[in-house]
Amino acid sequence: MISSAFRLSSMNISRSFIKSAAAPSMARSFATGPQSGGEISDELLGRLGQLSTQALVDGLWVMGWPNAQIDGSRALHPSHKCVGRAVTLQFVPARPDIAQDKPPAGESPEYEAFEKCGPNEVLVMASVGKWDSVGGDIKFLRLKQLNVGGLVTDGSVRDTDEIINYGFPCFSYSTTARQGPAFMQPWKCNDVVNMGGVAVRPGDAIVGDQDGVVVVPAKVAEKVYSIAHGREEIEEIVKEELTKNPGPPGKYYPFMSGKIKVDSPLGQLLATKGITPENSNQFEGSADW
């Protein structure tokens, strides 16, 4: 017969075991990956900014990465071109409790994001809707004061003439006269954001020109530059040759990086310019990605 003391002791041990086993589960939080994918130096940033958005898109495509162009985000003025590390800001749909809980006034996430910006940063504002305003002249006066490298949004901006006069590059889906706070609220600074189906991580390189805006992931930025720069060199040679000897471009173009055959017309043309598999990753067998 089991004594009552032994039974009580066993029950206490069981309760203790259950409690200790459950504790880690109750305390567990959902896993989240790091916001940034790496670091891009000022020197590499400058080199990326010298390339066209087309070359950068092609470089990422060759590597098998998904679409990197933020569709619909266009330059507010023909002179606008930007390059910088992404500082991100996420907007969420307007809701009374969100408006109440959001840090007020100067502590708002959007102003936190503003203060992280400078000449080598591009503020990336992930809007809720294409026609919703992410800001106008009064808010963006601060970005002018900070000499921001650029502003990119998949939403709209207002006070267009004044923003153009501010002088910093601005890329948006469109312009609008209506206010944004009626439709959305700034909620989080420097997290991964969705820009028209393209993921942007804080610290990614953002390059914009008249053809659009491209996101170069920090983790592969050096490799993307290598491929894109090599492509631009070859394209210049092809254009030079077709200018001297007019004819259909198909003899040399298009070409696939890492697939150019040495004995092809393009391969032979490149050899005359000193570009070979020994010094270029554009040839068959020389791809290093």
pLDDT tens digits for range 18-38: 444 444 444 555 677 888 889
**In this structure, what DSSP letter does residue 104 have?**
P
Alpha carbon of residue 63 to chain centroid: 17
Q: What percent of the chain has pLDDT over 70?
A: 90
**pLDDT at residue 76 above 50?**
yes
**pLDDT at residue 2 above 70?**
no
Q: What does the pLDDT average to over 160-172?
A: 97
pTM of the model: 0.86
Q: What is the rounded end-to-end Cα distance, in angstroms, of the chain?
A: 74
Q: Which of 78, 61, 110 is nearest to 231 (CA)?
A: 61
Give me the pLDDT at residue 165, please. 97
More confident residue, 149 or 8: 149
Contacts of 223 (CB under 8 A, 6+ apart): 59, 63, 288, 289
Give me the pLDDT at residue 23, please. 44
DSSP bridge partners of 215: 206
pLDDT tens digits for range 217-273: 999 999 999 999 999 999 999 999 999 999 999 999 999 999 999 999 999 999 999
For the beta carbon of residue 205, count every other beta carbon within 10 angstroms: 24
